[in-house]
Chain A
């Protein structure tokens, strides 16, 4: 039971990590067994959810970055990736060469955490500017009404450069990951 509170569970043959509604209900009933009441995400949202399918990734440079644009966005495609030593998710650029932007993330405790990486060639954003990123993102996952997981407030620490701004290494860039 404790694992329901600490880790997502496999969602059948879809190979997607999810916290199914049934599991969350179980956590509600057996709250003591999990050591607390049902966890609540940002804005009262239910934590967890399946990270799979098409997403929009938005990356915003830290305020300290000189000449930074407001934000850039990129279409992404997510799928489950691995179970040991911790479950993970792989999120790749949707369209073109998928590995131009690769996110390799651990998904435990209703939190996505891991590397956002481009090569030296960077990747074109929806805004038409190129983006270079080598950073670690961390973000709590909450469920949308359809049960998919999303990150509405994630932090990103590391190197980020958007065409037109200075290269910027900071611990407080930010990102969101929303289902499409």
Chain B
């Protein structure tokens, strides 16, 4: 049980009545067999309720919103969750990767009483308890903020009402109460929707997904979700230079036994990963398993220039990546970025990406990069053949002239 789960696990089933306006509830409420079941985590439920309501009214297809983590999908027909919540469902084929798309970004905010100091740490100084959303996304937020949170005064909760009523809270904007909101500086949640594989209501699920990404659906989501994330640090104009060779790699034996994409050579060259449209069928990346790594020769020297210096392309969701850099193939390797979420969308490409700045490692240049899995999920518990970060390519953004 996660920390959040210990305190409160809420499973709310919301019946969106087909004929809710003035209708008789017993007549209006559809049976679960007839409805399209949508499973979404607490953060996204408030965003979805209005749009599901509208869909049911306008299409005649009833919907049921089941508020819980979308992994596993259970009896749902459609899942909606953040990248980190859907990683295993999408990679393992529990949901149809081909049907998935982004609904938008949901920022994290600190909620503080009106009139609290502008600076967040000063505002939190008076907090008796800081309530933080639990679950996977909450864990990532708490880990990202670390010592910026008040020591010994953090309470993890999955109860939307408790979070909304809290004087001090760290929550996705959809769960913010009446206090003042301050930017949290945490990666915004990415709302991803997908049809569950093998659903008996495939046609209705497809209709719902089409509605969600229609102009009408997006307009209903707009009060909660942004169509753009916070601006990324400006990367240099992308050079057409990618890793040219593998100099070392390692995957645990357990990973070699269970994963399907173990070829380190897939990391060399420009991004070319693809989903073949069939469960577990991809090409063009190397899955790093539990804590595996690949070390590449860039063939050129990357320098600490303007903005980010290195871009790592990682396929499917935002599995974190750790990057080290060195001037020689045997090192010593210096840590550049630790467990960096690697899910920034790359228009026109299957893979997402994450950027690294040599400045963070206080080094001026490097030629060899060690890319290490940052998910570090227990191999024996993995349910997919793509465990770990899935590395497609490594690009130099600032090269030595």
- Which A residues contact B (CB, under 8 angstroms)? 64-67, 81-82, 85-86, 88, 90, 92, 98-102, 104-106, 114-122, 130, 132, 134-136, 157-159, 161, 163-164, 166-171
Does B129 interact with chain A (Cβ within 8 Å)?
A: no
New A-B pairs, 15, CB < 8 Å, besides A105-B252, A120-B2 = A65-B146, A65-B147, A90-B254, A102-B379, A102-B381, A117-B377, A117-B379, A120-B136, A132-B3, A134-B375, A134-B376, A135-B376, A159-B339, A166-B147, A169-B338
A170 with B253, Cβ < 8 A, contacts A102-B290, A119-B378 known: no
Contact pattern, B 321-343, Cβ under 8 Å of A = 1, otherwise 0: 01000000000000100110000
Does B1 interact with chain A (Cβ within 8 Å)?
A: yes
Distance between A146 CB and nearest chain B CB, rounded to angstroms: 25
Contacts of B377 in A (CB 8 A): 117, 119, 134
Does B372 interact with chain A (Cβ within 8 Å)?
A: yes
Contacts of B150 in A (CB 8 A): 66
Q: How far is the CA of A66 from the CA of B124 in the complex (A)?
A: 15
Among B20-28, B137-145, B188-196, B275-283, the stretch in contact with A = B137-145
Contact pattern, B 254-267, Cβ under 8 Å of A = 1, otherwise 0: 11100000000000
Inter-chain contact B149/A114, CB cutoff 8 Å: no
Distance between A176 CB and nearest chain B CB, rounded to angstroms: 19
Inter-chain contact A104/B254, CB cutoff 8 Å: yes
What are the nearest 8 A-B pairs in CB distance? A115-B291, A82-B253, A66-B151, A104-B252, A99-B380, A167-B142, A102-B378, A134-B376
Distance between A87 CB and nearest chain B CB, rounded to angstroms: 9
Q: Can you show 20 pairs from A to B with CB atoms below 8 A apart?
A: A64-B146, A64-B147, A66-B147, A82-B252, A85-B250, A90-B254, A101-B378, A104-B254, A104-B255, A104-B291, A106-B252, A114-B252, A119-B381, A130-B3, A134-B377, A135-B376, A157-B322, A166-B154, A168-B146, A168-B147
Contacts of A101 in B (CB 8 A): 378
Inter-chain contact B376/A116, CB cutoff 8 Å: yes
Does B42 interact with chain A (Cβ within 8 Å)?
A: no
Closest to A157 in B: B338
Contact of A136 among B249, B252, B376 (CB under 8 A): B376
Inter-chain contact A81/B254, CB cutoff 8 Å: yes
Distance between B130 CB and nearest chain A CB, rounded to angstroms: 10
Inter-chain contact B149/A66, CB cutoff 8 Å: yes
Inter-chain contact A104/B379, CB cutoff 8 Å: yes
Does B374 interact with chain A (Cβ within 8 Å)?
A: yes
Looking at chain B, what size class is its interface with the partner chain? 35 or more
A136 with B291, Cβ < 8 A, contacts A116-B376, A119-B381, A169-B143 known: yes
Which parts of B230-252 form the interface with A (CB within 8 Å)? Answer: 248-252
Does B373 interact with chain A (Cβ within 8 Å)?
A: yes
Q: How far is the CA of A105 from the CA of B375 in the complex (A)?
A: 15
Inter-chain contact B146/A121, CB cutoff 8 Å: no
Which parts of B160-179 form the interface with A (CB within 8 Å)? Answer: none
Contacts of A159 in B (CB 8 A): 143, 339, 376
A121 with B152, Cβ < 8 A, contacts A166-B142, A168-B147, A169-B146 known: no
Which parts of B368-395 form the interface with A (CB within 8 Å)? Answer: 372-381
Closest to A163 in B: B3
Distance between A3 CB and nearest chain B CB, rounded to angstroms: 16
Distance between B251 CB and nearest chain A CB, rounded to angstroms: 8
A167 with B253, Cβ < 8 A, contacts A99-B381, A102-B378, A102-B381 known: no
Q: How far is the CA of A120 from the CA of B150 in the complex (A)?
A: 23
Distance between A149 CB and nearest chain B CB, rounded to angstroms: 18
Inter-chain contact A168/B143, CB cutoff 8 Å: yes
Inter-chain contact B338/A158, CB cutoff 8 Å: yes
Inter-chain contact A136/B372, CB cutoff 8 Å: yes
